[in-house]
Amino acid sequence: MKNKPFLYFLLLIPMIAESQLCAPAQRPVFERMFMFKDSSMITGYNYFKRHGVKFDSLTNIKLYNEVIKWIGVPYRHAGKTKYGVDCSGFVTQIYNLIYSRKLGGGAGDIFKLTSPIDKKDLKEGDLVFFKIRHSSISHVALYLSNNKFVHATTAYGVRIDDLDTPYYLRYYFSCGRIVPTEKKSQ
């Protein structure tokens, strides 16, 4: 496999050509933010694009930059680290890192911290709840955009899925928005 570096170079040619055809100033601001941080951000942007996640000027780039670091992390019951995470641990970590909100407990406990919203009103950062193999809430996911959500699955670890996938339609329970904490006046 002496030619391996050369093969990698051949794979990069289309990316290099694309970046030269569209000058950075002409690219949307969210794409530029992904592009120029480092090469992993280019990979991150392309990953989201391939999975149908759409960006606009309101996109929380910090959220997506954090989410991409978790993609592929294996499932571990009660896990909260990049060595292994479960659904509630993943949501808890994202909310702590991005929104500076401390959440805790399982999916059912997190559900109690939300205000219910309609599926059609979902916004980036809202939570989606499922009842899988239980009569109670057993799974939580973080909504991204364009009907896509990110979550920790037992089979594949952290990944992006679509709310209209038959499996998730079958087990969908509710959507919620974390209720803002009230600031105490002095």
pLDDT digits (tens, 9 = 90+) for 64-75: 989 999 999 999
> What's the fold here for domain 73-178?
endopeptidase fold (from Nostoc punctiforme) (3.90.1720)
pLDDT recorded at residue 32: 38
pLDDT recorded at residue 179: 86
- What are the contacts of 25-34 at 24+ separation with CB within 8 A? 28/55, 28/57, 29/57, 30/55, 30/56, 30/57, 30/59, 30/61, 31/55, 33/61, 34/61, 34/64, 34/65
- SS3 (DSSP) at 55: coil
pLDDT recorded at residue 2: 53
pLDDT digits (tens, 9 = 90+) for 117-150: 999 999 999 999 999 987 999 999 999 999 999 9
- pTM assigned to the model: 0.76
List, by residue number, the catalytic residues.
87, 139, 151
Tell which wins on pLDDT, 180 or 105: 105
pLDDT recorded at residue 106: 97
Residue extents of the structural domains in the chain: 73-178
pLDDT digits (tens, 9 = 90+) for 36-63: 344 455 567 788 888 888 877 567 889 9
